[in-house]
Chain A
Amino acid sequence: MRILRFFITRIFLKRWILVLGMILLLFLANYLSFTTARSVISTFQGYQEIETLNQEGTFIANLDPDSKTENETINIDKTRKLYEYLDNHYTYALQVDGFVTSLENEHEMEVTFSYINEEAYKINQFSLSQGNHLTFNYQFNQETIPVLVGAGLATTYPVGSTIEITDPVTQQLVNLNVRGVLKENTHRSNFYAPNIKNYFNFSIFLPVNEEFIQRAGLDLHVNGLTDIALLDSTEDEAMNLKEHIQKNLGLELNFFNQQENFDYFEEYYVYSLKIICTIMFILLIIIVCLATWNNFTSIRLMKKDFTINLVVGLSYSKLRAIFYSYFGLLFSINLTLLIAITAFNRYGFWLRKESLYATYGIFGLLSMDWIALLIVLFIDLIIGVTIVELTLTKIKRIPISVGVLN
């Protein structure tokens, strides 16, 4: 430890620019690996969520990218009839998020409403930290509507409390009864960007039944349709619905079955992840080359210091240990910096009151952040071993007499 301190304070830090250069390069390597690892983990998590929905007999709707929908032709009467048709002929899962409303809460966050029907609720199996699950057989306007609230609203609106609010989709004053509290960081991944997630810490989950849908506005109807999933259905039934929607609303939707979805997602995800990993790999190689060069230049300048220490009794194995400890220290500094930056980024969502991204966690970090940090640590190990061993080989090649003379 004393030798290490001597080397760090008297040899390495004497040329602090080189140490700073190394820290910056390793930080770049860490940041890039971290971003990539988190993207991959988040995509994988999202893919798992999609897998639970994408079962046999399920057809997930998707707005045709080539469609030229004229929104003027869609009106509330037509969409009501369409949902009536859906209720009579199909089993479907529907969840629509992101209807913002202002509701007093201790963090002064915007509150979003998430509308979910029974089938979607069953598929998602959200975990609760308190209270009971939702029930869907309430009568709109005659009794209070049971809701779930996000963890961030649990203190202001505990289980059993009532919320009186104008519902954003029906525009009617409703009484909501808090039945349960969602677990912290309950989220839903975007189908087409599974690495992007909406967190429901400041959301209210409102159960949707047939009656509610009939009272709801056009926004909920149209948005619901573009993400709707037909359950226990057949190819013909899906085609019939597609034609029905096109005929009545002029909306061109594609309904993809399980296999089509798997094929599409796998091709799309694998392609994207392949490119991400390739970019990361190339950047890492460049950075490691630069870091190795930086270390070699350090050796060129510190040749005399190293060889004099070798003359007076330092062994190569001790020198190796010193280098590993030194790099361990640099990596620790970088990882701490990375944790601080990630925590600050996460905290930024709280500061900017972006309720759909505000999350809870140790130091503000989520499990995926910690896993990504673990991967970064592993990559650091590889980088560290590469640089230290190359450095040692280089030092061993310097004849001690020449080093001292330098």
Chain B
Amino acid sequence: MKYSLFRFIDIFEAIAIYLICFASNLLFIYVLTLDLEASFILESFIESITDYQLVIIILLTFMIIVFHYQFLNRRKTEISCRILVGDTMVKIIIRYILNSLAILGFSFFLSLSLNFYLELNGTSNLYLVFIFILYILISAGQVKKE
């Protein structure tokens, strides 16, 4: 038994969504490095998607907001119970932020293996990490009890 609000399934879900976002971003960057001039059809199709790369990635990151939202809603009873038996809201919030950052960090390091595989710059996903940190901090304000 742990202090964390996260169960294995929550961690798995969060990592999966983070990886989808990181991998999508890397694939966009990777596709841009490919020499597609041999196929104009492919080039123009890829262009029609990569032109909106940032918008698509930001839309995908919204799933992390959904994750935090549903997670904190489902944990309201648990937060109440923990406070009943001796926890404090501040400690719960701090633990929530730290746990979320740890999951994000782990996902980022996992995504680095894709960076190396595709021979892309390791910092390509850093801007996403900042966006996710922002989401985590905003969602920490939503840690509430029932």
Which of B44-52, B88-96, B124-132 forms part of the interface with chain A? B44-52
* With A21-B62, A32-B49, A35-B49: A193-B43 Cβ-Cβ less than 8 Å: yes
For A24, give its contact among B41, B42, B62, B67 (CB under 8 Å).
B62
Q: How far is the CA of A18 from the CA of B73 in the complex (A)?
A: 12
For B41, give its contact among A18, A273, A298 (CB under 8 Å).
A273
A27 on interface, CB distance cutoff 8 Å = yes
Chain A contributes a number of interface residues (CB within 8 A of B) equal to 36
For A18, give its contact among B17, B20, B42, B66 (CB under 8 Å).
B66
Collect the chain B residues with CB atoms within 8 Å of residue A286's CB.
20, 24
* Contact call B62/A195, Cβ cutoff below 8 A: no
Interface string of B54-78 (1 = CB under 8 A from A): 0010011011011101100110000
Where chain A touches its partner, the secondary structure class is: helix
* Contact call A268/B45, Cβ cutoff below 8 A: no
Collect the chain B residues with CB atoms within 8 Å of residue A36's CB.
45
Closest B-chain residue to A34, C-beta based? B48
* Contact call B60/A28, Cβ cutoff below 8 A: yes
* Contact call A272/B41, Cβ cutoff below 8 A: yes
* With A18-B69, A300-B74, A301-B73: A39-B59 Cβ-Cβ less than 8 Å: no
* Contact call B63/A294, Cβ cutoff below 8 A: yes
Closest A-chain residue to B63, C-beta based? A290
Q: Which of B17, B66, B74 has the largest count of A CB atoms less than 10 A from its CB?
A: B66
Collect the chain B residues with CB atoms within 8 Å of residue A190's CB.
40
Q: How far is the CA of A25 from the CA of B60 in the complex (A)?
A: 7
Q: How far is the CA of A36 from the CA of B41 in the complex (A)?
A: 11
Q: How far is the CA of A53 from the CA of B39 in the complex (A)?
A: 21
* With A35-B45, A39-B48: A300-B40 Cβ-Cβ less than 8 Å: no
Q: How far is the CA of A10 from the CA of B139 in the complex (A)?
A: 23
B13 on interface, CB distance cutoff 8 Å = yes
Min distance, Cβ B31 to any Cβ of chain A, angstroms: 9
Report 28 cross-chain contacts, Cβ distance below 8 Å, ordered by A residue. Answer: A15-B73, A17-B69, A18-B69, A20-B62, A21-B62, A21-B63, A25-B59, A27-B59, A28-B56, A31-B52, A35-B45, A39-B41, A39-B44, A192-B40, A193-B40, A193-B44, A195-B44, A196-B44, A268-B41, A271-B39, A272-B41, A272-B42, A272-B45, A286-B20, A290-B17, A290-B60, A293-B13, A297-B66
Given contacts A17-B65, A195-B44, A301-B74, 9 further A-B contacts (CB under 8 A): A17-B66, A18-B70, A21-B65, A36-B45, A39-B41, A268-B41, A272-B41, A276-B41, A301-B70
Chain A interface residues (CB < 8 Å from chain B)? 15, 17-18, 20-21, 24-25, 27-28, 31-32, 35-36, 39, 43, 190, 192-196, 268-269, 271-273, 275-276, 286, 290, 293-294, 297-298, 300-301
